[in-house]
Chain A
Amino acid sequence: MASAAQDGGRPPGRTALAGRNAGGSDSADGGKPGLVFAELAHLGKLNLRGGDDMVPAVRAHTGSPALPANNSFVTVGERQVVWLGPDEYLLLCEAGSEAHLHSQLMIDLGSVHAAVTNVTDGLCALSLRGPAVRRVLAKGCALDLHPAVFTPGTCAQTMLSHAGVTMMAIEDTRFTIICRTSFAPYVHDWLVDAGMEYGVSFRG
Chain B
Amino acid sequence: MSASSMFRKSAPAQISRAATGGRVNRAKPVSFTFDGRVLEGYEGDTLASALLANNIHLVGRSFKYHRPRGIIAAGSEEPNALVRVGRGARAEPNLRATQVELHDGLFAESQNRFPSLKFDIGAVNSALQAFFPAGFYYKTFMWPASMWMTYEHVIRHAAGLGRVADDHDDPDRYEKTNAHCDVLVAGGGIAGLMAALQAGRSGARVILADEQNEFGGWLLGESDVTIDGTSAADWIASAVAELSAMPEVTLLPRTTVFGYMDHNYLTLTERVTDHLGERPSHLPRQRMWKVRAGQTVLAQGAHERPLVFSGNDLPGVMLSGAVRSYINRYGVVPGNRTVVFTNNDDAYRTALALHGAGAHVVVVDLRRDLKGELVKAVRTAGIEIMSGSAVTIAAGTQRIARVEISPVNEGASAVLDDPIHMDCDLLAMSGGLSPAVHLHSQARGKLGWDERLLCFKPTTAHEASFSAGAGNGVFDAARAIVDGLRAGTAAAKAAGFAIEQGDAPDVSAPAQSWRPLAAWTIANGKGEGEGPKAFVDFQNDVTASDVKLAVREGYQSVEHVKRYTTLGMATDQGKTSNINGLAILAESLGNEIPAVGTTTFRMPYTPSGFGAIAGRDIGALFDPVRLTRMDDWHRANGATFEHVGQWMRAWYYPQNGETMREAVDREVLAARTTAGLLDASTLGKIDIQGPDAAEFLNRLYTNSWLKLGIGKSRYGLMLKDDGMVMDDGVTTRLAENHFHMTTTTGGAAGVLDWMEEWLQTEWPDLKVYLTSVTEEWSVATLSGPHAGKILKAAGVDISLDPADFPFMTMREAHIAGLPVRIFRISFTGELSYEINIRARHGLALWTHLMEAGAEHGITPYGTEAMHVLRAEKGFIIVGQETDGSVTPQDLGMDWIVSKVKPDFIGKRALARGSMSAEDRKQLVGLRTKDRKTVIPEGAHAVLDPNQPMPMEMLGQITSSYYSPNLGASIAMAMLKGGRALMGGTVYMPMLDGTVIEAEVVEPVFYDPKGERING
Contacts and interface: CB of A to CB of B under 8 A. Distances in A.
A189 B621 contact: yes
Interface in B622-644: 622-629, 632
B840 A13 contact: yes
Nearest to B844: A1
A28 B177 CA distance: 19
A122 B775 contact: yes
Given A28-B282, A113-B691, A144-B292, A122 B773 contact: yes
Interface stretch (B31-39, B361-369, B764-772): B764-772
Given A14-B840, A122-B773, A142-B290, A196 B623 contact: no
A71 interface: no
A139 interface: yes
Given A10-B817, A139-B175, A115 B621 contact: no
B620 A189 contact: yes
A157 interface: no
Contacts of A113: 690-691, 767, 769
A114 interface: yes
A154 B771 CA distance: 23
A151 interface: no
Given A5-B818, A144-B292, A194 B180 contact: no
A168 B775 CA distance: 21
Nearest to A185: B627
Interface residues of A, number: 53
B360 interface: no
A138 interface: yes
Nearest to A3: B816
B178 to A, nearest CB: 5
B689 interface: yes
B775 A49 contact: no
Q: Please report whether the interface of chain A is mostly helix, strand, loop or mixed according to DSSP.
A: loop
Given A49-B769, A117-B689, A182 B626 contact: yes
A121 B847 CA distance: 19
A2 B795 contact: yes
A20 to B, nearest CB: 12
Interface string A158-173: 0001110000000000
B777 to A, nearest CB: 8
Contacts of A75: none
B624 A183 contact: yes
Contact of A2 (B625, B772, B774, B816): B816
B284 interface: yes
A79 interface: no
A15 B687 CA distance: 22
A146 interface: yes
A6 B817 contact: yes
A52 interface: no
Interface centre among B770, B775, B816 (most CB of A within 10 A): B775
A174 interface: no
B479 interface: no
Contacts of A117: 687, 689, 771, 773, 776
B827 interface: no
B178 A119 contact: no
B629 A14 contact: yes
B604 to A, nearest CB: 20
B856 interface: no
A139 B776 contact: no
B263 to A, nearest CB: 12
Nearest to B284: A197
A48 to B, nearest CB: 9
A185 B632 CA distance: 13
A149 interface: yes
A12 B816 contact: no
A152 interface: no
Nearest to A50: B769
B629 A115 contact: no
A153 B940 CA distance: 59
Given A28-B280, A121-B775, A12 B840 contact: yes
B625 A186 contact: yes
A191 to B, nearest CB: 11
A115 B177 contact: no
Given A14-B840, A14-B843, A193 B816 contact: no
B614 interface: no
B839 A141 contact: no
A119 B175 contact: no
A127 interface: no
Contacts of A118: 776
B354 to A, nearest CB: 45
B769 A182 contact: no
B661 interface: no
Contact of B178 (A11, A138, A183, A189): A138
What secondary structure prevails in chain B residues at the interface with A? Answer: mixed
B647 interface: yes
A11 B838 CA distance: 12
Given A5-B816, A13-B838, A115 B689 contact: yes
Interface in B677-705: 687, 689-691
Interface string A183-204: 1011001100110110100000
Nearest to B851: A1
A87 to B, nearest CB: 8
Given A142-B178, A185-B627, A186-B625, A122 B795 contact: no
Contacts of B647: 182
B817 A2 contact: yes
A193 B177 contact: no
Interface centre among B627, B687, B769, B842, by most chain A C-beta atoms within 10 angstroms, is B769
Contacts of B509: none
Nearest to B179: A138
A28 B629 CA distance: 36
Contacts of A15: 840
B841 interface: yes
A5 B689 contact: no
Given A6-B817, A115-B769, A193-B616, A120 B776 contact: yes
A123 B840 CA distance: 11
Given A115-B769, A182-B627, A141 B178 contact: yes
Contact of B626 (A120, A183, A193): A183
A116 to B, nearest CB: 8
A19 B621 contact: no
B1 interface: no
Interface in A1-53: 1-2, 5-6, 10-15, 19, 25, 28, 42, 47, 49-50
Contacts of A142: 178, 290, 292
Most central of A10, A13, A163, A183 by chain B CB within 10 Å: A13
Contacts of A120: 776, 838
Contacts of A183: 624, 626
Nearest to B814: A5
A47 B772 CA distance: 10
A12 B847 CA distance: 16
Interface string B840-879: 1111110110000000000000000000000000000000
Given A13-B838, A47-B771, A115 B616 contact: no
B818 A181 contact: no
Contacts of B26: none
A124 B767 CA distance: 29
B840 A1 contact: no
A193 to B, nearest CB: 6
Nearest to B632: A19
Given A1-B844, A5-B816, A161-B621, 5 more contacts: A2-B795, A13-B840, A138-B177, A181-B629, A186-B625
8 nearest A-B pairs in the assembled complex, by CB-CB distance:
A5-B817, A13-B840, A115-B769, A182-B626, A122-B776, A186-B624, A49-B769, A121-B839
28 contacts: A1-B818, A1-B844, A1-B847, A1-B848, A2-B816, A2-B817, A13-B844, A14-B841, A14-B843, A28-B282, A42-B840, A113-B690, A113-B691, A113-B767, A117-B689, A118-B776, A120-B776, A122-B839, A138-B178, A139-B178, A141-B178, A143-B178, A144-B180, A162-B617, A162-B623, A162-B624, A180-B774, A194-B175
